[in-house]
Structure 1
Amino acid sequence: MNQSRPPIADSSLALLAKGYTWLPDRWRRTGAPLVRTRLMGQHAVALQGPEAVRFFYDERHVERGTALPGPVLSTLFGHGAVHTLDGPAHRVRKEMFLSLLTGPKAVAEVVDRVTEVWDEAVQSWPERPVVLFDEASRILTRGVCQWAGIPVDDADSVARDMVAMVDGFATPGPRHWRARRARSRSESWLAGLVEDVRAGDATAPAGSALEAVVRHRDADGRPLDPHTAAVELLNVIRPTVAVCWFVSYAGHALRTPGVKERLREDDPAYAVAFAHELRRFYPFAPFLGGRAVTDLEWRGEPIPSGTLILLDLYGQNHDPGLWDAPYAFAPQRFVGRPPRPDELVPQGGADRATGHRCPGEDITVALLAALGPRLARLEYDVPEQDLRIPLNRMPARVRSGFVLHTVRTRVTASAH
């Protein structure tokens, strides 16, 4: 008797139609320890859970570089980026990012720059309606570029391009082509800056990200070519600008009873818990992809070499087996209980030094812990608007961008 598995239908259209709910829906329908599917004609399996995170990031099992589709490289990450590397080449390139983006000093410097720009920008908010998503993208762009030593003449246009690269990576059509054009413009701008610094026609501030990228040498001892240097500079500033997604989600979350009042208190532990809960509750990355480097087995299920392996991030962050009331926004779940390793995975998992986990994760948390209370301490009106967050749009976002009207006063923390 033929015991081979029946043909599996391609799920590419279902993924586009359902977005973030596609894999969670599949998990609910299967009793197996993994989901088997096809995407873009390729055999794929999906895994979920802390143990799966560790399995996925083990380089003996999965490689990331060959699994990134060309459209994602042409929009979000860039061709030649650290994300396309594995093994020693990845570790040497990644060390540059770790030296720039991790550690209390680096985190504090980025947060200080961004909060200075925020506090200045807020002074103009009473004079006009504010779309929080757009305003936050401009603030984050100005702040991170100042920190990185990158001169910016038009922060608005740079912010639009940074947002476009993130907004169009996971979808066909006009958003995708806007993302490609934004990447082309941005790479050309920054490659020119790198060439000017190397020629002595521009200055890279000592200790800046610009200086680090210009001087970096890869595992082969060679400096980055101008294009690759531009790609990696974008991989320093673009993820910070993408925090605007979570800032607009913060406005949305402050409508939850009791959260705004608690954030107004001078309680750093609650502010960090609020940041973690924003990243857990609201949709950002749906899943990550890698490729099996050899024949593997997961809980008794075979995974042939070359299979596309998906790590379900959104599903894990809403797994009732990991989280009480996973579809309730509840920052208090993280007060006195920081997330365990490989449990909370909005930006991926594993070790930042040896794996592909985002090196800027600490900066993301610190920015949200600083900007969340600042937003909560403002008085403003929320006019009638479309506050829905469609889960079939990837990346999802508040449809209106979260509009504030009549920003009136700043509320000081109760401890002050």
Structure 2
Amino acid sequence: MRVPVHGRGDSTLPLLLHGYAWLPNRLRETAGAPVRTHLLGHPAIALHGPQAVQFFYDEENVRRSGAVPDPVLDTLFGRGAVHTLDGAAHRVRKALFLALLKDPAGVEALTEAVVAQWREAVAGDGGGAVVLFDTAAEALAGAVCAWVGLAPTAEQARLIAHDCVAMVDGFATPGLRHLRARHSRTRQEAALAALVTAVRDGRQQVRPGSALEAVAGHRDVDGLPADERTCAVELLNIIRPTVAITWFITFAAHALHRHPDLAEELRAASGRQLRDLSTAFAHEVRRFYPFVPFVGGVAARDLTWQGVRIDQGTMVLLDVYGHHHDAGLWHNPYHFTPARFTADPDAVDRLVAQGGGDPALGHRCPGEDITVSVLAAFVGELAHLDPEVPDQDLTIPLSRIPTRPHSGFVLRLPTAAADASAAPAARPGR
């Protein structure tokens, strides 16, 4: 029997201090056996490995209702979000997202819109310097808002980008970042709730087939329309994660800079080869770089995990960052190697960057296809743009959640940026 090591008091402060390294370090002490601890005063147990992924994403074992702490609800997900539901209520709400986010034509349309927004931005800055993190976030916000069915002005799109970045940046930390995240969510929820009300009252035209139309008309498991604030929350749960791809895009630029041989390989590719290389690169960015440290739920009943008792109501944590750097699952895991995904197409199934299991049945993110598609397209764009990277602080601190390069990754664009960015966007693929 694998005996869990009992915690040394509450781990909230060590988590805040050590960030992504906290849970892998604790699991290393136990050789991968479960770790018992406390977070925010609640008993918790941390699990690791492929079998733990299956165990965690089985709704019979782990539920989400009541699992997300209030500070995270009030910043990242929103009250009443799909992330907080279980059973039939979850499946009915999740079906809304699956219909919108898993449609290949919709994924392609959003990807093309993002690339168009990005090219417009860099075309206007030829020869100048831009902060990639900020510029990509604005391109993502403008594209996804139009795709959802909103019609924001350029200034409104910039504010939405700012607020969505703040929601992600401040969910896991106390202080000013957290207050900024709360303020941003309150502002955007109010604006979107008012828009949903106007749509339902017939005062606002809505594009047929759009996400705005679908969310405003959605009925939950009880057959009743979701209230306007919940609709706003779920619209943000399309917009915010799309804007959050800017973290992965910035990491991709970091990898291209650190591995010029891979950038050259991408520049030399075209067509199907470019698509495959860019997609493999996108998967490796999601594996290698730190974004989600772990995910959590609550034991739905008294459980036994590999001989270890887990009492009902215990917080269950699934290691994500450590999973992606486990030498038992990945050859040379601390080396950035996109070729692992072209050599072994099934390797993508070991990724848990956006959850595990079947997105139609559990809590795996239904927007994963959009993330991979948009990120792969940006990989091709950045490689063909081949910008100058001036001296800057590209440190990625593991103590900060979520983390990113300190500088936001400053690029100095070629004078002919519009021409350099005109390579065909890479298309997704497994």
* TM exceeding 0.5: yes
Q: Which among 313, 324, 339 is matched to residue 317 of structure 1? A: 324
Which residue does 2:374 correspond to in 1?
A: 367
CA distance in 2, matches of 1:240, 1:138: 11
The amino acid across from 1:252 in the alignment is: H
Superposed CA RMSD:
1.8
Once the two structures are TM-superposed, the CA of residue 331 in structure 1 deviates from its matched residue by 0.6
Which residue does 2:409 correspond to in 1?
A: 402
Which residue does 2:341 correspond to in 1?
A: 334
Which residue does 1:220 correspond to in 2?
A: 222
TM-score normalised by structure 2 residue count: 0.93
Which residue does 1:26 correspond to in 2?
A: 26
Q: Secondary structure at the match of 1:377?
A: helix
The amino acid across from 2:239 in the alignment is: I
CA distance in 2, matches of 1:258, 1:203: 50
8 Å CA contact 2:7–2:35 kept in 1: the answer is no
The amino acid across from 2:266 in the alignment is: L
Once the two structures are TM-superposed, the CA of residue 227 in structure 1 deviates from its matched residue by 0.3
Aligned residue runs from structure 1 range 278-297, under 5 A: 278-297=285-304
Once the two structures are TM-superposed, the CA of residue 317 in structure 1 deviates from its matched residue by 0.7
Once the two structures are TM-superposed, the CA of residue 28 in structure 1 deviates from its matched residue by 1.3
Residues 381-403 of structure 1 deviation map (CA, whole Å, 9 limit, x = unaligned): 21111100001100011110000
The amino acid across from 1:216 in the alignment is: H
Which residue does 1:98 correspond to in 2?
A: 98
| Corresponding position: 1:348 with 2:351 | no
8 Å CA contact 2:21–2:398 kept in 1: the answer is yes
Once the two structures are TM-superposed, the CA of residue 83 in structure 1 deviates from its matched residue by 0.6
TM-score normalised by structure 1 residue count: 0.96
Residues 245-280 of structure 1 deviation map (CA, whole Å, 9 limit, x = unaligned): 011111101021411111222121111000100100
Once the two structures are TM-superposed, the CA of residue 32 in structure 1 deviates from its matched residue by 5.6
CA distance in 1, matches of 2:7, 2:323: 27
Q: Which among 258, 262, 265 is matched to residue 265 of structure 2? A: 262
8 Å CA contact 1:10–1:37 kept in 2: the answer is yes
Residues 274-307 of structure 1 deviation map (CA, whole Å, 9 limit, x = unaligned): 0100100011111000011111111111111111
8 Å CA contact 2:4–2:30 kept in 1: the answer is no
Which residue does 2:187 correspond to in 1?
A: 185
Once the two structures are TM-superposed, the CA of residue 4 in structure 1 deviates from its matched residue by 12
CA distance in 2, matches of 1:412, 1:336: 29
CA distance in 2, matches of 1:339, 1:359: 19
Which residue does 2:384 correspond to in 1?
A: 377
Q: Percent identity?
A: 55
CA distance in 1, matches of 2:180, 2:193: 20
CA distance in 2, matches of 1:339, 1:363: 19
The amino acid across from 2:412 in the alignment is: H
CA distance in 1, matches of 2:423, 2:189: 42
Which residue does 1:233 correspond to in 2?
A: 235
CA distance in 2, matches of 1:329, 1:5: 32
8 Å CA contact 1:289–1:309 kept in 2: the answer is yes
CA distance in 1, matches of 2:390, 2:79: 42
CA distance in 2, matches of 1:364, 1:336: 22
8 Å CA contact 1:21–1:392 kept in 2: the answer is yes
CA distance in 2, matches of 1:54, 1:253: 31
8 Å CA contact 2:4–2:308 kept in 1: the answer is no
| Corresponding position: 1:393 with 2:396 | no
